[in-house]
Structure 1
Amino acid sequence: MKLFLSLITAFIFFFQTDLESLRNSYAKANQSNENTEAFINLAEKQSGSDAVTTGYKAAAQIMEAKIAKKNRKALVKTGATSLESIIKSNPNNIELRLIRLSVQENIPKIVGYRGSIKDDKAFLISNYGKQNAAMKSYVKKFAMQSRSFSEAERATIK
Structure 2
Amino acid sequence: MAATATSDMEKLAKARAAVGDNYTPSEDEEYMSERQLDYFRMLLLDWKKSIHDAAGQTLQSLQDGPIREPDLNDRASSETDWGIELRTRDRQRKLIAKIDAALRRIDAGEYGYCEVTGDPIGLKRLIARPVATMTVEAQEAHERREKISRDD
TM-score range with shorter-chain normalisation? under 0.3
Normalised TM-score (structure 1): 0.23
More contact order relative to length (CA 8 Å, sep ≥ 6) = 2
Normalised TM-score (structure 2): 0.23
